[in-house]
Amino acid sequence: MSVGDKEAVKRRIEGLFQVKTQEEMIARNLRNVRFKVGVISGKGGVGKSTITANIAVALALKGYKVAVFDSDFHGPSIPKMLGVEDASLNVTNDKKIIPVEGPLGIKVMSIAYFLPDKTEAVIWRGPLKKKFFDDLAMYTLWGELDFLLFDLPPGTGDEALNLAQSIKDISGVIAVTQPTEVSALAVAKSINFARKVNIRVLGVIENMSYFICGDGNKYKIFSGDGGKMLSEMYNIPLLGRVPIDPRVAEYGDSGYSILIKNPDSEFSKVFNEIVERLVSILGVE
Ligand SMILES: Nc1ncnc2c1ncn2[C@@H]1O[C@H](COP(=O)(O)OP(=O)(O)O)[C@@H](O)[C@H]1O
Ligand SMILES: [Mg+2]
């Protein structure tokens, strides 16, 4: 054995016995995840969770292995939207948590599975959120994935910071806005936040951009051009403009995705284009 080989063996042994930091343990647990993407926005109700759930479905429909980590501590809605609200988590003998399996094999982990009741208000203090977020990132059996998507609560609070601090090699975030200036300005703060913590903003999605009426015409419901405005202000790609479709809300409440139910809808077409752009921006082959 050469001196170089001996050194390599020594380093490996040291590595095995080294006490790992929380971040290292998370990185180790996520080592087989190719892309980690967060979905952010400055405001609630803009459709962040709807967008996250549908990006997951659109990617899974293209054959990618996908998981969603719903880290909205105060309003976790991914399990309901993906129809796995009543499922429960299992734990392996070596204390790893098996995520729930949603449509198309999408793995789902959510704070919701730890809450006593759907309507219970849990008081989460900042450090507790960080601990819980880290534990779930670290002990969930994510396995081999192409994409791990993080759904976040609105704003630049604890959860967004936890994501930035705990997932060191995050691929980037997608910002979701509505067309209005009020919405776009709030989202601008989230983009600034991401930049401050050195996270790449992969693009912006404008949700609820227009409505297609029965007569086939497009009607703009909300004024403004928030997606374009943010895209130009920050020089980031506009990934797409998503229409309002009442079926999206209805299906969301009953745990279905419109991409599966109505693949020919305008919403589904737009989503396909969004994930194609995303995949190309990330350089996924
Ligand atoms: N493009 C859309 N068309 C119709 N309803 C939508 C659309 N986007 C979101 N919604 C509905 O609006 C509500 C809020 O969306 P949600 O994804 O929960 O927002 P957020 O996660 O940003 O708080 C949900 O009931 C959802 O079904
Ligand atoms: Mg949400």
pLDDT tens for residues 162-198?
Answer: 888 899 899 999 999 999 999 999 999 999 999 999 9
- Atom number in ligand 1 closest to CA 81: 27
Q: Is the pLDDT assigned to residue 214 strictly greater than 90? A: no
Residue 3 falls within a domain, yes or no?
no
Output the six-digit token pair for 253: 């409440």
Overall number of domains in the chain: 1
Q: What pLDDT, in 10s, does the model give residues 222-281?
A: 999 999 999 999 999 999 999 999 999 999 999 999 999 999 999 999 999 999 999 999
pLDDT at 137: 95
Residue nearest to atom 12 of ligand 1 (CA): 47
Domain residues for 69?
Answer: 20-280
Report CA(46)–ligand 1 centroid distance (Å). Answer: 6
| Least distant ligand from the CA of 78 | 2
Q: What one-letter code names the amino acid at 51?
A: I
Q: Is the pLDDT assigned to residue 94 strictly greater than 70? A: yes
pLDDT at 16: 65
Output the six-digit token pair for 74: 């105060």
The more confidently predicted of residues 125 and 69 is 69
Residue 262 falls within a domain, yes or no?
yes
Alpha-carbon distance of 75 to 44, in angstroms, equals: 10
Residue 285 falls within a domain, yes or no?
no
Residue 13 falls within a domain, yes or no?
no
Reduced to 3 states (helix: H, G, I; strand: E, B; else coil), residue 268 is helix
Q: Is the pLDDT assigned to residue 201 strictly greater than 90? A: yes
Reduced to 3 states (helix: H, G, I; strand: E, B; else coil), residue 87 is coil
pTM greater than the 0.85 cutoff: yes
Report CA(87)–ligand 1 centroid distance (Å). Answer: 22
Q: How many CB atoms lie within 10 A of CB 262?
A: 16
Residue 4 falls within a domain, yes or no?
no
Q: Is the pLDDT assigned to residue 123 strictly greater than 90? A: no
Q: What is the CATH number of the domain that holds 29?
A: 3.40.50.300
Alpha-carbon distance of 156 to 190, in angstroms, equals: 6
Alpha-carbon distance of 64 to 56, in angstroms, equals: 9
Residue 91 falls within a domain, yes or no?
yes
| Least distant ligand from the CA of 75 | 2
- Name residues contacting ligand 1 (CB within 6 A): 41, 44-50, 77, 207-208, 242, 244-245, 248-249, 252
Residue 10 falls within a domain, yes or no?
no
Residue 276 falls within a domain, yes or no?
yes
Taking CB atoms within 8 Å and a gap of at least 24, the contacts of 169-172 are 169/27, 169/36, 170/36, 170/37, 170/38, 170/199, 171/35, 171/36, 171/37, 171/200, 171/202, 171/282, 172/37, 172/38, 172/199, 172/200, 172/201, 172/202, 172/282
pLDDT at 160: 84
